[in-house]
Chain A
Amino acid sequence: MIILKNLTKIYRGIKVVDNLNLQIPQGTIFGFIGPNGAGKTTTIRMMTGVLRPTEGSISIDGLDIAKEPSQAKRIIGFIPDRPFLYEKLSGTEFLRFKAGLYGMRGTGLDEDIFDLLNLFELSNWADELIESYSHGMKQRLIIASALIHKPKVIIVDEPMVALDPRGAKLVKELFKERARKGTTVFMSTHTLALAQELCQQIAIVDKGRIVASGTSKDLEEQAGVMGDLERIFLAITGGLASA
Chain B
Amino acid sequence: MNIFRLLITPRVVAFKNNLKGPGGGRRVKILTLAVVGILFWLVLFFLFYRVLAYFSSQEMIGDVLARQLLTMVLLIFFFLLIFSHIVTALSNLYLSQDLELFHASPATLTEIFLSRSFYTAIDSSWMLIVFGLPVMMAYGVVYHASLAYYLSLIYVSLPLMIIAASLGILVIMVLVRFFPAQRARDIIFFLSLVVIICLYFLFRFLRPERLVNPDSFVSIAQYLGALKAPDSPYLPSQWATDLLWTRLTRYPGSQLLNHLLLWSTAFALVVIDIWMAGLIYFRGFSKAQEAKRRTHVGRKILEKTVSVLTRPLRPETTSLIAKDVRTFFRDNSQWSQLLLLGALVVVYLYNFSVLPLERSPIKSVYLQNALSFLNIGLAGFVISALSARFIFPAVSAEGNAFWIILSSPLSARRFLWSKYFAYLIPMLILAEVLIIYTNYLLRVTVFMMVLSSATIFLLVFGIVALGVGLGAIFPNFKHENIAQVATSFGGMIYMISSSVFIALVIVLEAGPVYTILSAQFRGEAVTHVQWVWIMASFILVIVLLIVAVKKPMAAGLKSLSRYEG
Point out residues on A near B: beta carbons under 8 Å.
45, 48-52, 69-71, 73-74, 76, 78, 80, 82, 84-86, 88-90, 93, 96-105, 125, 127-129, 131-132, 134
- A102's partner among B294, B399, B408 (CB-CB below 8 A) is B408
User: Closest CB of chain A to B292's CB: distance in Å?
Assistant: 5
A48's closest neighbor in chain B, by CB?
B407
Q: CB distance B330 to A69 under 8 Å?
A: no
Q: CB distance A74 to B409 under 8 Å?
A: yes
Of B24-32, B317-325, B382-390, B486-494, the stretch lying at the interface with chain A is B317-325
A91's closest neighbor in chain B, by CB?
B297
- B297's partner among A98, A100, A105, A127 (CB-CB below 8 A) is A127
A142's closest neighbor in chain B, by CB?
B404
Tell whether A76 pairs with B315 under 8 Å between CB atoms, given A86-B327, A127-B296: no
**B residues less than 8 Å from A99 (CB atoms):** 315, 319
Judge whether B1 is part of the interface by a CB distance below 8 angstroms: no
Q: CB distance A49 to B294 under 8 Å?
A: no
Q: Which of A52, A71, A98, A101 has the most CB of B within 10 A?
A: A101
Q: Which of B327, B408, B411, B562 has the most CB of A within 10 A?
A: B408
- B331's partner among A70, A88, A98, A128 (CB-CB below 8 A) is A88
B329's closest neighbor in chain A, by CB?
A88
- The answer for the CA separation of A97 and B326 in the assembled complex, in Å, is 11
**B residues less than 8 Å from A103 (CB atoms):** 314-316, 409
**A residues less than 8 Å from B291 (CB atoms):** 132, 134
7 CB-based A-B contacts, threshold 8 Å = A50-B407, A51-B565, A52-B564, A70-B409, A71-B409, A76-B407, A101-B319
Report B394-410 CB contacts with A as 1/0, cut-off 8 Å: 00000111011111111
Q: CB distance B404 to A129 under 8 Å?
A: no
Q: CB distance B410 to A101 under 8 Å?
A: yes
Q: CB distance B315 to A128 under 8 Å?
A: no
User: Closest CB of chain B to A80's CB: distance in Å?
Assistant: 6
User: Closest CB of chain A to B33's CB: distance in Å?
Assistant: 24
Q: CB distance A90 to B407 under 8 Å?
A: no
**A residues less than 8 Å from B292 (CB atoms):** 131-132
- The answer for the CA separation of A85 and B319 in the assembled complex, in Å, is 15
Judge whether B97 is part of the interface by a CB distance below 8 angstroms: no
User: Closest CB of chain A to B312's CB: distance in Å?
Assistant: 13
Q: CB distance A93 to B326 under 8 Å?
A: yes
Q: How many residues of B are in contact with the other chain, CB < 8 A?
A: 34
- The answer for the CA separation of A93 and B323 in the assembled complex, in Å, is 8
User: Closest CB of chain A to B139's CB: distance in Å?
Assistant: 48
Q: CB distance A89 to B408 under 8 Å?
A: no
Tell whether A73 pairs with B409 under 8 Å between CB atoms, given A84-B403, A89-B327: yes
**A residues less than 8 Å from B295 (CB atoms):** 128-129, 131-132
**A residues less than 8 Å from B320 (CB atoms):** 97, 100-101
Q: Which of B454-468 contact A (CB under 8 A)?
A: none
Q: CB distance A84 to B565 under 8 Å?
A: no
**A residues less than 8 Å from B293 (CB atoms):** 132
Tell whether A129 pairs with B330 under 8 Å between CB atoms, given A51-B565, A84-B401, A103-B316: yes
B22's closest neighbor in chain A, by CB?
A12
User: Closest CB of chain A to B12's CB: distance in Å?
Assistant: 26
User: Closest CB of chain A to B268's CB: distance in Å?
Assistant: 40
Q: CB distance A89 to B318 under 8 Å?
A: no
- The answer for the CA separation of A52 and B562 in the assembled complex, in Å, is 8
Q: CB distance B318 to A100 under 8 Å?
A: yes
- The answer for the CA separation of A192 and B29 in the assembled complex, in Å, is 46
B412's closest neighbor in chain A, by CB?
A69
- The answer for the CA separation of A168 and B44 in the assembled complex, in Å, is 62
Q: CB distance B297 to A86 under 8 Å?
A: no
User: Closest CB of chain A to B333's CB: distance in Å?
Assistant: 11
Q: CB distance A101 to B411 under 8 Å?
A: no
Tell whether A128 pairs with B316 under 8 Å between CB atoms, given A50-B403, A89-B327, A98-B404: no
**A residues less than 8 Å from B406 (CB atoms):** 48-50
- The answer for the CA separation of A129 and B409 in the assembled complex, in Å, is 25
Q: CB distance A129 to B297 under 8 Å?
A: yes
Q: CB distance B315 to A104 under 8 Å?
A: yes
- B319's partner among A78, A100, A128, A134 (CB-CB below 8 A) is A100
Q: CB distance B407 to A78 under 8 Å?
A: yes
Apart from A76-B407, A101-B404: 17 A-B pairs, beta carbons within 8 A: A48-B406, A52-B562, A69-B409, A71-B409, A73-B407, A73-B408, A74-B409, A80-B403, A88-B330, A90-B297, A98-B319, A99-B315, A100-B316, A100-B319, A100-B320, A101-B319, A103-B315
**B residues less than 8 Å from A90 (CB atoms):** 297
Q: CB distance B407 to A51 under 8 Å?
A: no
Q: Which of B269-297 contact A (CB under 8 A)?
A: 291-297
**A residues less than 8 Å from B316 (CB atoms):** 100-101, 103
- The answer for the CA separation of A89 and B404 in the assembled complex, in Å, is 14
- The answer for the CA separation of A129 and B320 in the assembled complex, in Å, is 17
Q: Which of B307-365 contact A (CB under 8 A)?
A: 314-316, 318-320, 322-323, 326-327, 330-331
**A residues less than 8 Å from B327 (CB atoms):** 86, 88-89
- The answer for the CA separation of A78 and B402 in the assembled complex, in Å, is 13
**A residues less than 8 Å from B562 (CB atoms):** 52
**B residues less than 8 Å from A98 (CB atoms):** 319, 404, 408
Pairs of residues from A and B, 7 with the lowest C-beta to C-beta distance, nearest first:
A100-B319, A84-B400, A101-B408, A88-B330, A70-B409, A50-B406, A48-B407
Q: Which of A73, A99, A100, A129 has the most CB of B within 10 A?
A: A100
A146's closest neighbor in chain B, by CB?
B407
- The answer for the CA separation of A100 and B313 in the assembled complex, in Å, is 11
Q: CB distance B323 to A86 under 8 Å?
A: yes
- The answer for the CA separation of A125 and B409 in the assembled complex, in Å, is 28
Q: CB distance B409 to A101 under 8 Å?
A: yes
**A residues less than 8 Å from B409 (CB atoms):** 69-71, 73-74, 101-103
- The answer for the CA separation of A170 and B387 in the assembled complex, in Å, is 46
Q: CB distance B323 to A97 under 8 Å?
A: yes
**B residues less than 8 Å from A105 (CB atoms):** 315, 318
User: Closest CB of chain A to B271's CB: distance in Å?
Assistant: 38
- The answer for the CA separation of A51 and B320 in the assembled complex, in Å, is 21
**B residues less than 8 Å from A88 (CB atoms):** 326-327, 330-331
Q: Which of B367-393 contact A (CB under 8 A)?
A: none
Q: Which of B412-439 contact A (CB under 8 A)?
A: none
**A residues less than 8 Å from B322 (CB atoms):** 97, 100
B564's closest neighbor in chain A, by CB?
A51
**A residues less than 8 Å from B294 (CB atoms):** 125, 128, 132
